[in-house]
Amino acid sequence: MKGEVKAVARWTRLDGAGDDTCKLVREPEGWMLLGHARFTEGGSETRLDYLVRCDRDWLSQSADVTGTRGGVAVGWRLAKSPEGWQVNGRSIADSAQCHDVDLGFTPATNLLPVRRLGLMAGHPQEVAALWLRWPEARAEVLEQTYARRDHRTVDYASPGFAAALEIHPSGFVTAYPGGWEGEVHAP
């Protein structure tokens, strides 16, 4: 890793056993999120490592997720092309408008639209993300809305879900109601 670590987030899962650690790294070509999520669901242990790459403008370019789920090796390669996104070489329909990757097993990727959009209070912004839906492990387009409430809170909504997210100045979520709670160290 050639880049400079700008922040490190550590979360504890609220709805079961688990933790997640993610580094925000500034690279010469843009940004990276480098993380490790460990959690138990349905009595089965999941261990996932993830790497998300963005350009200088916070536009997601690719993501790699590898690890084990219930002792079985799993892996996904998400890659953007001019025609849209591919997951493990398979094209995802209607994904060309997706500027963000949303890995459904971690709060880390909420940082991407928060940083990219430069949210201002009272101005909600609608975005589309390529969502690795969890626990289904299925990629699909997810329409989302982000709106800054104040300097620490962003209102998030997607079909059938809404939450007030507490945000650290780095852009990392520190409280995701019902999902995760954490802290951020910014060296």
Residue 25 CA to residue 122 CA, distance in Å, equals 30
pLDDT confidence tier of residue 94, bands split at 50, 70 and 90: very high
pTM: 0.94
pLDDT of residue 154: 96
pLDDT tens digit sequence for 138-153: 999 999 999 999 989 9
How far from each other are the two terminal CA atoms of the chain, in whole angstroms?
A: 17
80 to 37, 109, 124, 169, 182: CA distances (angstroms): 23, 16, 26, 28, 30
Nearest to 92 by CA among 57, 69, 63: 63
- Rounded mean pLDDT, 160-183: 96
Bridge partners of 57, per DSSP, are none
**1 pLDDT more than 60:** no
Query: 168, 9 in Cβ contact below 8 A?
Result: yes
Q: Which two tokens stand for residue 155?
A: 């209102």
- Rounded mean pLDDT, 82-93: 95
In the chain, % of residues over pLDDT 90: 89
Residue 52 CA to residue 34 CA, distance in Å, equals 7
pLDDT of residue 84: 96
**9 pLDDT more than 60:** yes
pLDDT confidence tier of residue 60, bands split at 50, 70 and 90: very high
Bridge partners of 139, per DSSP, are 132
- Rounded mean pLDDT, 4-15: 96
Strand segments, DSSP code E, in the chain are 4-13, 18-27, 30-41, 44-55, 60-69, 72-81, 84-87, 90-91, 100-103, 125-133, 138-150, 153-158, 161-167, 173-176, 180-185
| Three-point CA angle 157, 16, 181, nearest 5° | 55
